[in-house]
Amino acid sequence: MASAPPLLRRRTLLGGASLAATSLLASGCSLQIRSRPDPTIGPDTMLVAGDKGTPTFTANFNPFHANKRTAASILYEPLIWINPLDGELVPWLAESWDQPDPQRIVLTLREGVSWHDGTPLTGEDVDYTFRMLQDFPANDVAGAWGRIDTLEVDGRTIAITLKSPDSPALPVIGQTVIVPRHLWEGVADPSTWRNEEPVGSGPFQLGTFTALQYTLDRFPGHWQASSIDIEHLVYPAASEELDLVTKGYDWAYAYMSDVENTWMAANDANRYWFPPGGIIGLHPNHDVAPFDDVDVRRGLALALDGRQVAEVAAEGYMDEASQSGLLLPNQEDLLDPSLPERGIIGQDTQAAIAAFEKAGFTYDGTTMRTPEGEPFTFAITTANGYTDWLRAVQEVQRELGAIGIAVDIDAPQPAAYEANLSSGDYQVAVGSSNGSDAFQGFSNLMSGEYYVPVGETSQNNRIRYRSAEADELITRYRASVDEAEQSEILHALQRLFHTDLPVIALYYGGLWGLYNQARFTGWPTAEDPYAPLQTYGSSPLLVLTRLRRAQKEAS
């Protein structure tokens, strides 16, 4: 899965108090939990459930660390802001860019940007950041130097030559956050430094920090200062589900069961928006028989009712996923119009049985048997504690049982789950794939470049898929900067994803945004989907430029 997987990070393992509260609300009990906002928080201050103490905070604002404080992504800025919904590239510290050919990128740095200490941000900071990432590869979390051959900075111009024709490298390199040379170059090892007193260029700077709460203050010298209407952000360490429902949070990101009777019922101004952020599906291990047989994979796909799986797993909040490999409706403009039913494969039990029979299986009306005459049984691996995934597997187990296939459920702890997928120690797994960058989703999942046999570890193509057609399409896409040609290649990749079924799409994983519109307006919604409501990653950088204080709007 991706290096910073949102669909994994957003799940919370509910404590006993939270479960009890949810149960009372869902059961129709007369006890109604209501939100009680803190009266000491002013109208210019936002309460954010955006970081979780374990149970308290430690100061780590190194933006390259996996265990950094969430707000580090607001203190530091990337060259290019990438929309997690649809992959749109938005100029940020780089005001513009050009790709004259598939092996060159030229970016132009924005003028008038300064660090929180007032020092101007210049090309020297960009040059330092990339050299530091090259010298300390543990910080190169996006893998920029896996694509870069040379990088030269001349004033505001950043000229990059890639190792090979690689047009999709732009977002990989563009998402790099820039750090101040004058403060970082004296650090002995930036890969282990916790950066407890951060100085960034973002729209907010660190205010106060304690083990139980920290604050960010608006940076008046930011290049978008006129678009920032919020003065302070408050991040408490206590942000479990019961805290979200009762303490008057303005913004949170969490999967909350029965959201209508929990979050929505707690405050009349509470709202939610759950757009798709990835495809949750069955990930067959293509190096393990019989899942290397496309007819077996097709039989599994046709035997399943994606709408029912989505209903059970995500409580009706998310839709059945398209077998196009795209996030719909986010990426509707990329969809191949030749795909039937927008790529959705409907349940067809008889066609499923026929697909298995084509693969040499037999079905006597009770038991599905392998070509060797043994009952067909296999295990699906999911991560312990990911409750929606477990519900999905249980529904898949029930539906496959209807045609005589016995499914066992293997639920190791999340770290063991990740290790098993990386090493190929599984038969079929539930996992998240694809995402806002359509091409990168196909490449990460299907490229033979990332193939390793079972027993060796890989962070991409963990399904061990191999296809000469996929490799040829991926190579062609990388070598093109022509939008029409790239669109045609993406259509071909969708058709291959639909017919060869490297992954069996089930339902869309949600981006679980919760907000309160009483004190702040301008939130992203289905009607205005300018960004997801993630409280982590780069999303807040854009969202915070669009929000307005409700009191000022009213006056």
CATH class of 278-510: alpha beta
* Cα separation, 145 vs 477, whole angstroms: 20
Could you tell me the pTM of the whole model? 0.86
Question: What pLDDT score was predicted for residue 422?
Answer: 95
Question: What pLDDT score was predicted for residue 239?
Answer: 82
pLDDT, averaged in runs of 10, over the chain (555 residues): 33 28 36 68 93 92 95 98 94 97 98 98 98 97 95 98 96 97 98 98 98 97 97 92 90 91 94 96 98 98 98 95 96 97 98 98 98 98 94 98 98 95 97 94 95 94 98 97 96 98 97 96 96 95 97 64
* CATH 3.10.105.10 placement within the chain: 278-510
Contact between 84 and 511 under an 8 Å Cβ cutoff? The reply is yes
Contact between 324 and 494 under an 8 Å Cβ cutoff? The reply is yes
Question: What pLDDT score was predicted for residue 554?
Answer: 59
CATH class of 77-185: alpha beta
Question: What pLDDT score was predicted for residue 286?
Answer: 98
* CATH 3.40.190.10 placement within the chain: 45-62+202-275+511-548
Contact between 48 and 249 under an 8 Å Cβ cutoff? The reply is yes
Q: Residue written as tokens 């393992």?
A: 13
Question: What pLDDT score was predicted for residue 553?
Answer: 59
Give the max Cα distance, the chain: 76
Parallel, antiparallel or unpaired: strands 232-236 and 45-49: parallel
* CATH 3.90.76.10 placement within the chain: 77-185
Question: What pLDDT score was predicted for residue 184?
Answer: 98
Question: What pLDDT score was predicted for residue 329?
Answer: 92
Nearest CA to 202 among 224, 234, 172, 181?
224
Read out DSSP for 419-478?
A: HHHHHT--SEEEEEE--SSHHHHHHHHH-GGG---TTS--SS-TT----HHHHHHHHHHH
Q: How many CB atoms are located within 10 Å of the residue 497 CB?
A: 28
Question: Domain 45-62+202-275+511-548: which topology?
Answer: D-Maltodextrin-Binding Protein; domain 2 (3.40.190)
